[in-house]
Chain A
Amino acid sequence: MKARWILIAYAAICLLALMLMLSRENLYVVIALAAGFLLLGHRELWSLIRHGRMPVIDERVQNNLTGAMRLTGIFFFIASIVLILLFRFNVFKNTPKELIVSGQLVIVGFVYVMGYYYYDRVRPCLGEKAVKWLRICLITAGLCLSTIALAIVLHNLVSVWFGFEDAFFFILALLVAPAVLSLSLLGCLAIYIKGLVASFKTVEQS
């Protein structure tokens, strides 16, 4: 019952925001809000369409929702800080701000959905070894992102301080770190998909 009212309130807020943004012709934000609503409320909407009722929220679902919310909150916080810094240094000079913020909202929605399915389906079907590898891949990806930022700063500092074009930090920031980042993200995705496929098989076979 509580979940139903939360969904209705959320839908009403989204509708109001959509109308407001449409009236201001901010189409990017309208699309982002609509996509965000579909992503966040996909379980409820699917259950309403398929069974004509709201899905049951038991203790396992509550734990999974809490985990996904926490993950989304952390991601949103970090992404916001990165975006603020990028805006501060005028990186997005020629890109509309609405597009960037809308993109962030949609990505946050995807992170929530992926986080929810991780706790709900993927995690129970992954072995300890796979979880360990997933953690290693995620930490590596995080380290690579920090390395890219640090190497860009160091490359510029070396150029300013010593007056010559540095090659080491340049290659690190543009080649090595992005390559390792791509590999670790692919690893994460592969483990995630493996767990998701295993979970769907488990549920179907039972």
Chain B
Amino acid sequence: MNFKSLLATKLLKRSYRNSIILLCGVLFSGCASGQLPLQQQLTPLPAGPICRIAVLPFLNDSDYPLADAIVGKVFAAQLQASGDYQVSQEGNVLNIYQQLHLLPGVAPSLEQFQIIADRVNAQLLITGIVLEMQEDRGEHGTVNPLLVEEIQIRDGRNGEVLWTTFHRRQGTDYKKTMHFGTIHTVTGLSRQMAEEIINLWLDKGLAPCNE
């Protein structure tokens, strides 16, 4: 399954995600043949050091149960570990979601993003969508996981998307010699992909927190 065919499937399956996926298609079609993850910088990051980041609950557009929770928690953990950022406590974020009557699986509005960022005192917000997660059968009865995700960096001041990153991998992408290197779990794949996305961000100018 290649990226373009996946997008086409998604367009047919999810009507309310059409606009997002279409955007992805537009954004990444020109470089789909390039290296993943694919990043688009819509607006520069806020000036000055960035330390306070909130990872908001991810959305799950896949058929894999709780894929949003797995990918979201793994991404938050990797973000904290990679740049030593002060990642807002998930409990605080979800309290605000409750207070704003935001149901699971529903994306906040720009105004709500702004409120959330203000309440948790975050400079940046991280949102994400799991577009696809599945566990295919691999060789010798093993599992070959697949994950397609899109992660956004939003400005805490207005909730607008600053950077967006698309990534797609499966476990066998990391195969080296024989079976070595292959990732067999969606959690392991999520970690690997989160690391790649964050490293890309760091390369592109997101500075680690020094506080």
**Do A and B associate with each other?**
no
